[in-house]
Amino acid sequence: MQVEVVEGRFFGAAVADEIVSLAGQVEREKIAIALSGGSTPAEVYRNLVVEPRVSEMPWDKTVFFLGDERWVPITDSQSNFFMAQDTFLEQVPKTKAFPVVGRTAEEAATEYEKLIKTHLGENPVFNIVLLGLGDDGHTASLFPNSPLLKEDSTRLVASCTHPESGQKRITFMPRLIQSAERILVLVKGKNKAKILSSALTRGNTLPISILDKAKGKITYFVDTEAAAEL
Ligand code: 6PG
């Protein structure tokens, strides 16, 4: 596991450079990237669609899924798909990106898993999974004490509820995250300094510790403010 510390003003460009570089190294005919939500990735996504990256990224080979989503209409500004559309997807129509849809959150999770398998096979492996880190150590929508963290099933996508807001969510299960070739954890801001220090402490039991069982390489991209307690 690697920690890249970047000055805040270069954060978006540095992560976008890494994504384009990793995508360029994928030999498969299809590149699968799982997007993170929340606010941190927005500047990364915006940096993907400026030169030279917008010309370098193999958009036509890439499929984007959401590592988690809020159970709101995709026209709602809280939607992670809405944020991805708004920050970069609208500008790269050649690429394929899949929102989470369904009549209920439970059904949407089941359908999303089927869609992922349709594109990536029965044992899907994402080339890149982008993750954030919440103040409570959650990642994707895997919250502290969530039964999903210990669930011993073959499910790859599940529905759940935000412990504070009660908002329904759809999230990748730990095993789908852990199977990725590369995992980039994006952490920015002084309010994340404490939780980042805990997350990087061996033996912690935060939800982000699911990465202890990750198969692929993990890189934490953090800005200098979030790195203050490292
Ligand atoms: C979500 C995210 C979530 C996020 C963290 C960090 O849907 O909210 O996927 O896991 O990555 O909460 O969010 P910020 O980047 O806004 O701090």
- To the nearest whole percent, how much of the chain has pLDDT over 90? 98
Residue 201 falls inside a structural domain: no
Cα 68 to middle of ligand 1, angstroms: 9
Residue 93 falls inside a structural domain: yes
Where residue 210 falls among pLDDT bands split at 50, 70, 90? very high
What is the number of domains present in the chain?
A: 1
Q: Is the beta carbon of 134 within 6 A of some atom in ligand 1? A: yes
Residue 171 falls inside a structural domain: yes
Residue 195 falls inside a structural domain: no
Q: At what angle do helices 80-87 and 41-48 cross, to 10 degrees?
A: 40
Q: Is the beta carbon of 79 within 6 A of some atom in ligand 1? A: no
Where residue 136 falls among pLDDT bands split at 50, 70, 90? very high
Q: CA quadruple 210, 126, 76, 100: dihedral positive or negative?
A: negative
Residue minimizing CA distance to atom 11 of ligand 1: 132
Residue 106: its pLDDT value, please?
A: 98
Cα 64 to middle of ligand 1, angstroms: 17
Phi-psi region of 217 (alpha: psi -120 to 50; beta: other; left: phi over 0): beta
Please give the residue range of the domain that contains residue 75. 2-188+209-229
Compute the 3-state secondary structure of the chain and give helix, strand, coil in percent, each to the nearest 5.
40, 20, 40
Helical H segments across the chain, by residue range: 11-24, 41-48, 53-56, 80-87, 105-120, 174-178, 193-199
Average pLDDT over residues 186-200: 98
Residue 50: its pLDDT value, please?
A: 97
Residue 194 falls inside a structural domain: no
Where residue 158 falls among pLDDT bands split at 50, 70, 90? very high
pTM of the model: 0.98
Where residue 170 falls among pLDDT bands split at 50, 70, 90? very high
Please give the mean pLDDT across all residues of the chain: 97
Residue 206: its pLDDT value, please?
A: 98
CATH number at residue 119: 3.40.50.1360
Nearest to 43 by CA among 132, 146, 167, 111: 132
Q: What is the per-residue pLDDT across 99-134, written as a single tens digit (0 to 9) for each?
A: 999 999 999 999 999 999 999 999 999 999 999 999
| Partners of residue 128 on adjacent β-strands | 33, 182
Instruction: Determine the Cα–Cα distance for residues 25 and 176; give it in Å rounded to an integer.
Output: 21
Q: Is the beta carbon of 68 within 6 A of some atom in ligand 1? A: yes
Average pLDDT over residues 68-72: 98
Average pLDDT over residues 55-82: 97
Cα 143 to middle of ligand 1, angstroms: 11
Residue 197: its pLDDT value, please?
A: 98
Residue 55 falls inside a structural domain: yes
Where residue 161 falls among pLDDT bands split at 50, 70, 90? very high
Residue 199 falls inside a structural domain: no
Q: Is the beta carbon of 205 within 6 A of some atom in ligand 1? A: no
Residue 174 falls inside a structural domain: yes
Q: What is the per-residue pLDDT across 6-58, written as a single tens digit (0 to 9) for each?
A: 999 999 999 999 999 999 999 989 999 999 999 999 999 999 999 999 999 99
